[in-house]
Amino acid sequence: MEIRNIAIIAHVDHGKTTLVDAMLRQAKALAKEEGERILDSGDLEKERGITILAKNTAVVWGGVKINIVDTPGHADFGGEVERALSLVDGVLLLVDAAEGPMPQTRFVLRKALQAGLKPIVVLNKVDKKEARPDEVLNLTFDLMVELGATEEQLDFPYLYAIGRDGRAWREVPKEDLSELFQTILEHIPSPRWEEGPFQLLVANLDHSPYLGRIAIGKVARGRVRKGESVAILKESEVLSARVVAVYTHQGLERVEVEESLPGDIVALAGVEGVGIGDTLAARETPEALPRLKVDEPTVALTLTANTSPFAGREGAYVTGQKLKERLLKELRTNVALQVEEVGPEVFELRGRGELHLAILLETMRREGYEFSVGQPRVLTKDGLEPYELLVVEVPQDRFGSVMEALGARRAEMVHMEVGERVRAEFVVPARALFGFRSLFLSLTGGEGLLSHTFHGFGPEAGPIPTRTTGSAVAMEAGVATAYSLNRLQERVQFFIEPGTEVYVGMIVGEHVRENDLDVNVTLAKKLTNIRAAGSDENIRLVPPRRLSLEEALEFLAEDELLEVTPKSLRLRKKVLDPAKRKRLVGK
């Protein structure tokens, strides 16, 4: 059977996963009642509406098997994108016909062009009122030229699409995706492979309680059969394993086969000890393929066992040893993550961005882990710091305040388009974006769009004021009362509500001024037998601000920690005692 291997790449929310759903349905690989965004299988993916992990599926069209890899659109999950591109021979580049190329479009497209893959451009969501497909097509071509595409890559086919309705066409609107499938068969080359002994580069891992570790990759040479012994070529050693089962993809399922096909994307079970980037090869001729290379991390944070007065109340796994085991397990599959033990029960996590690390932390807390993390910081390289390409789209009357805020954060504008809304691009130090998203939403009244991706390293920009408010810190342990919160709410935006238990040193809200403020939120109103008109006015509290894990990380100051448990997120000072904190400030 002929084979085609493609990856679907795009900016976040440009419609990749929805289009894959339609392709599966029209190729009769998915029942209509199976719901939407089938490949977004994880709870976090469904909640956030983003793809985090690259997924494999396959359809048969016109007698040709088409392996499809759905990739993340967010630059923080670039490690997943790089792994996915090692499996394929071409890409479908989806671009929103209204928004046009965005920062993550640039990121994933650059990776695809560098890998020598030929793109098919799909101008999606052409039914939008503000769609401008021809202009967006020109912008996409210009972007490819800027990214150094070859003449062959620039001679790309393109289609118009409404992915939600399962429609795509070249010139005349069609009611199905037949022209998209035909374009894939005509323009994506068959996989390149050689005759000879078996060889496969491991691009992904899975695990079965019955079959053990499962290695996923594209067969680069030869074939492998169930029961055969293979060599595992790691960076510094060679292991041996026996293939317990050979699987290929069909729709959303893995189907067991006796023998792999050259050029096919397969899953091999039972190969214990294998890791991502390793080569599986015939035992008689153990030749390694070039290892997968991923971009270096740009953001780091420190993770420790929880030491707050509430430690151990809510988590099932609370010790440093349990945290270490979980992080080492994550390293097996998360190729863009680096972990270093820098002290007893203290680990430094390095990743591709705040979201990359926050997703790991959120996953761990849902699994029952409890820990504390410090303020994220950027990683410098040879005296240079990382910069981001930031794109904002805001109403005209809000742009001035956004521009002023970015100017204070040493951002440099490189492009601007003015219409009903202003679309501007900035190059900005990565650390300047810590805490900027919440400020941006406030400045734009929730009407602004913001996205960014890694731009490169540049000279250090100097001090940047990323937070202009202080913390309100509990100075007494106990239970918060409505009476106390009411007395303080003119000066403090609270993160807690009446009835919340607090400890000394716990951050209960944001002070409106730059300095920290010690507050007592546990005071109760003294009761008397005397009643006077107007003395018992109703207490009206402003609803507390609920911080997500990413927002809490952005809020952290250098002397603060975020306590993460399966049930709670609590901000606290590293030094809980207020008297000790004042002495440290005095020094």
> What's 444's domain CATH number?
3.30.70.240
- Which stretch of 202-206, 506-510, 544-548 has the lowest confidence by average pLDDT? 202-206
Confidence check: pLDDT of 35 > 60: no
Q: Are the CB atoms for 242 and 301 separated by under 8 Å?
A: no
Query: Which pLDDT score, from 0 to 100, does residue 95 have?
Result: 92
Say yes or no: 137 and 41 in one domain.
yes
Tokens at 507, concatenated:
């951050």
Angle at 423 between CA 109 and CA 467, to 5 degrees: 95
CA 443 to chain centre: 25
Residue 290 lies in a domain: no
Residue 39 has pLDDT above 60, yes or no: no
Which secondary-structure segment (H or E) carries 585? helix 578-586
**Domain end call among 127, 158, 187:** 187
Within this chain, do residues 104 and 216 fall inside the same structural domain, yes or no?
Answer: no
Domain boundaries, position 205: 199-282
Residue 239, domain CATH: 2.40.30.10
Q: Same domain for 451 and 517?
A: no
Residue 522 has pLDDT above 90, yes or no: yes
The answer to whether 408 and 429 have CB atoms below 8 angstroms apart is: no
Same domain, 11 and 107: yes
Q: Rounded CA gap, 7 and 19, in Å?
A: 12
Q: Based on the domain organization, do 452 and 479 belong to the same domain? A: no
366 within 8 A of 315, measured Cβ to Cβ: no
- Is the pLDDT at 384 greater than 80, yes or no? yes
* pLDDT for the residue numbered 345: 87
**Both tokens assigned to 82:** 């790089």
Residues 6 or more apart whose Cβ sits within 8 Å of residue 436: 405, 409, 466, 554
Per the prediction, the chain carries an average pLDDT of: 85
Residue among 64, 80, 62, 56 nearest 253 (CA): 56
Is the domain of 83 the same as that of 158? yes
Q: Answer yes or no: do 146 and 22 share one domain.
A: yes
More confident residue, 149 or 586: 149
CATH of the domain at 515: 2.40.50.250
Residue that terminates a domain, selected from 137, 154, 187? 187
pLDDT of 536 strictly over 60: no
Q: Which whole number is the average pLDDT over 332-351?
A: 86
Say whether 84 sits in a helix, a strand or coil.
helix
**Sign of the CA dihedral with 72 first, then 77, 83, and 86 last:** positive
Asked if residue 359 has pLDDT above 90, the reply is no
DSSP 302-313: EEE---STTTTS
Q: In CATH, what number is assigned to the domain containing residue 326?
A: 3.30.70.870
Query: Is position 323 within any domain?
Result: yes
pLDDT over threshold 60, residue 75: no
Confirm whether 412 is domain-assigned.
Answer: yes
Q: What was the pLDDT predicted at 480? A: 94
pLDDT of residue 435: 73
Q: Which residue has the tokens 């805001």?
A: 394
Write down the pLDDT at residue 45. Answer: 39
Total-model pTM:
0.74
Of 78-87, 94-103, 264-273, 469-478, give the lowest mean pLDDT range. 78-87
Quote the pLDDT of residue 19: 86
Give binding residues for GTP as ranges.
13-18, 124-127
303, 375 contact by CB (below 8 A): no
| Whether the predicted pLDDT of 572 surpasses 90 | yes
d(CA 388, CA 107): 11
Q: Quick one: which of 525, 552, 550 has its CA closest to 539?
A: 525
Cβ atoms of 544 and 507 within 8 Å: the answer is no
Q: Which stretches of 225-351 are DSSP H helices?
A: 320-331
Q: What is the percent of the chain where pLDDT is above 70?
A: 91
C-alpha separations of 402 from 392, 425, 428, 440 in Å: 9, 12, 13, 7
Contact 104, 11 (CB under 8 A): yes
Q: What is the pLDDT of residue 110?
A: 85
Q: Are residues 177 and 33 in the same domain?
A: yes
Residue 42: which pLDDT band, with cuts at 50, 70 and 90?
very low
pLDDT (0 to 100) of residue 53: 40
How many domains are contained in the chain?
5
Q: How far apart are CA 258 and CA 269, in angstroms?
A: 12
Question: pLDDT class for 529, splitting at 50, 70, 90?
Answer: low
Question: What percent of the chain clears pLDDT 90, i.e. is strictly above it?
Answer: 39
Element (H, E) at 186: helix 178-187
Q: Is 147 left (phi over 0), alpha (psi -120 to 50) or beta?
A: alpha
> Does residue 69 carry a pLDDT above 90?
no
* Residues 386-401, mean pLDDT to the nearest whole number: 88
Task: Tell me which of 319, 351, 378 is where a domain ends.
Answer: 378
**pLDDT tops 70 at residue 534:** no
Encode pLDDT of 308-321 as tens digits.
Answer: 999 999 999 999 99
Residues 124 and 63 reside in one and the same domain = yes
Round to whole Å and give the CA distance between 372 and 311: 10
Mean pLDDT of the region 268-272: 87
Claim to verify: residue 180 and residue 203 sit in the same structural domain: no
Count of positions (residues) in the chain? 587
pLDDT tops 50 at residue 48: no
In a domain, 464, yes or no: no
| H or E, element range at 225 | none
pLDDT category at 80 given cuts 50, 70, 90 is: low
pLDDT of residue 109: 86
In a domain, 293, yes or no: no
pLDDT over 50 at 34, yes or no: no
* C-alpha distances out from residue 278 to 86, 220, 229, 232, Å: 13, 13, 16, 7
CATH value at residue 119: 3.40.50.300
- In this structure, are 20 and 135 located in the same domain? yes
Q: For residues 114-125, give the mean pLDDT.
A: 92
Higher pLDDT residue, 389 or 74?
389
Please report which confidence band the pLDDT of residue 421 belongs to, taking 50, 70 and 90 as the band edges: confident
483-496 residue pLDDT tens = 999 999 999 999 99
Tokens matching residue 344: 């007893």
502 occurs within a structural domain: yes
Give the separation between CA 418 and CA 423, rounded to whole angstroms: 7
**How far is it, in rounded angstroms, from Cα 413 to Cα 116?**
31
Mean pLDDT is lowest, of 3-17, 25-39, 157-171, for 25-39
Cβ atoms < 10 Å from Cβ of 191: 22
If we measure between CA atoms, which residue out of 415, 452, 450, 414 comes closest to residue 430? 452
Is 294 part of any domain? Answer: no
Q: Which parts are annotated binding residues?
A: 13-18, 124-127
Q: Is the pLDDT of residue 576 over 70?
A: yes
What ranges in 238-378 are assigned the alpha helix state H?
A: 320-331, 354-366
Q: Is 125 helix (H, G, I), strand (E, B) or coil?
A: coil
* Predicted confidence (pLDDT) at residue 128 exceeds the cutoff of 60: yes
Range 341-361 average pLDDT: 87
Identify the pLDDT of residue 530. Answer: 54
Query: 326 in helix, strand or coil?
Result: helix
Residue 405 has pLDDT above 80, yes or no: yes
Please write down the long-range contacts of 163-171, taking CB distance under 8 Å and 24 or more positions apart.
163/15, 163/18, 163/19, 163/22, 163/94, 163/122, 163/124, 163/125, 164/15, 164/18, 164/22, 164/125, 165/22, 165/127, 166/22, 166/25, 166/26, 168/122
Give the integer Cα–Cα distance in Å for 11 and 22. 19
The pLDDT of residue 83 is above 90: no
pLDDT tens for 276-310 read 888 999 989 888 888 877 677 888 999 999 999 99
The answer to the question of residue 465 being in a domain is no
Reported confidence tier of residue 138, pLDDT bands at 50, 70, 90? very high
CA dihedral for 296, 364, 11, 403, sign (positive or negative): negative
On whether both 183 and 61 belong to a single domain, the answer is: yes
Mean pLDDT score, 550-567: 90
| Lowest mean pLDDT segment, chosen from 139-143, 352-356, 548-552 | 352-356
